[in-house]
Amino acid sequence: MSCFVEIDGSYLEGGGQALRNALALSVVLNRPVRVIKIRANRPKPGLSHQHLHGVNLLRDISNAEVKGNVLHSTELTFTPHTIIGSMYKVDTRTAASITLVYQMVMPVLLFAGTTSRIDVMGGTNVSYSPQVEYMQQVLLPNLKRFGVNFDLKVLHYGFYPRGNGRCVLEVAPVRSLNAVQINDFGQFRAVRGSAYYSGRLPKCIAFDMQHSAEREIHRLWPDHECTIHVFKHPPDKARDNGAGIILTAVTSTGCIMGVATVGEKNIDGHMIGSNSSCELAGYIKNDICVDAHMQDQLIIYMALAKGCSSIRSGALTKHTRTAIYVAELMAGVKFNIEYGNFGQTLISCEGIGHCNAYM
């Protein structure tokens, strides 16, 4: 029993983050883990459908021995073995977030012996999860700095409550991860984005998002480019009602920050566009290099990389503090936090330089 690293799933954020990161690091580092009090701070604690699919996918990828992988379980033990790069398929049969399943398995697949392909059905754009466009347009360029390369294709977009989305993720293995320094903002260059709608929703929703977002950016930076395209997903790409916006800001040093928002019931396009652009403007005004949604996602890669990594972000989110808690326990690393002006936070870590045993 003592060989298990114990992770408290109720720590800070108290959601699925601790579980996802703990299991991913368990497989990569070949360290058995016990996660207790899973999702203790959620209205319905324990493993949801989405988390259970992720656990079982990692079980298959690593030929792991698992106890507690049942719906609503609040405790899980996981003993991994060999990482098997292959083709895998998951059907959540709900609107469960596809991107959170990918977030769980991506670090693992980087240390397989061959390219892997993960076909997942569920929700591409759902609340409280990274939007699929954010993964393509913001996560990918940030992970490329570590030496990561993946290809994410959306075969069908899926929204709450029906889901019906389908994506295919292809991940190439790496020998090791590069350390990164994402702390030089440089000069703000442009904002680019898109506002979409689908199903029976009127196009005015997307135009409202576009106009409100562009108005805010042009008010603050009248001489800078701000281009937001409006489009409708064709029926063969999205049958159900859905709408949202993705905005990215780029700088002269290659920093890419993003905000992606999906509309819920009674969609107010003006409010979505205004709130999204105001959030993005906050990053630009304060010279933030890594946005609040990217912060926590980079922690696991910093811990595994070879050398010292540092990222300049805003205030630490609970998700990030949880990710740091898990990484320090699982990988034995130490994250340093320095607080600067305008709410800036410099997060740094000397990674363990983990090497791919299958390459």
Is 137 annotated for ligand binding?
A: no
CA neighbor of 146 nearest in space, from 170, 171, 174, 179: 179
Helix spans in the chain (H): 17-29, 49-62, 98-109, 132-134, 140-144, 204-220, 269-285, 292-304, 318-331
To the nearest 10°, report the CA torsion of 158, 53, 113, 334.
100
Residues taking part in catalysis: 319
Distance from C-alpha of 165 to C-alpha of 154, rounded to nearest angstrom:
8
Contacts 24+ apart (CB under 8 A), 206-209: 206/230, 206/231, 206/232, 206/243, 206/269, 207/269, 208/268, 208/269, 208/270, 208/272, 208/273, 209/243, 209/244, 209/245, 209/269, 209/270, 209/272, 209/273, 209/276
Is 50 annotated for ligand binding?
A: no
Is 181 annotated for ligand binding?
A: no
What six digits make up the tokens of 292? 């609040």
Distance from C-alpha of 3 to C-alpha of 335, rounded to nearest angstrom:
24
Is 131 annotated for ligand binding?
A: no
Residues 6+ apart with CB under 8 A from 104: 20, 23, 24, 54, 57, 58
Is 293 annotated for ligand binding?
A: yes
Is 296 annotated for ligand binding?
A: yes
Q: Which residues are annotated as a binding site?
A: 103, 293-297
Q: Which residues are annotated as a binding site for ATP?
A: 103, 293-297
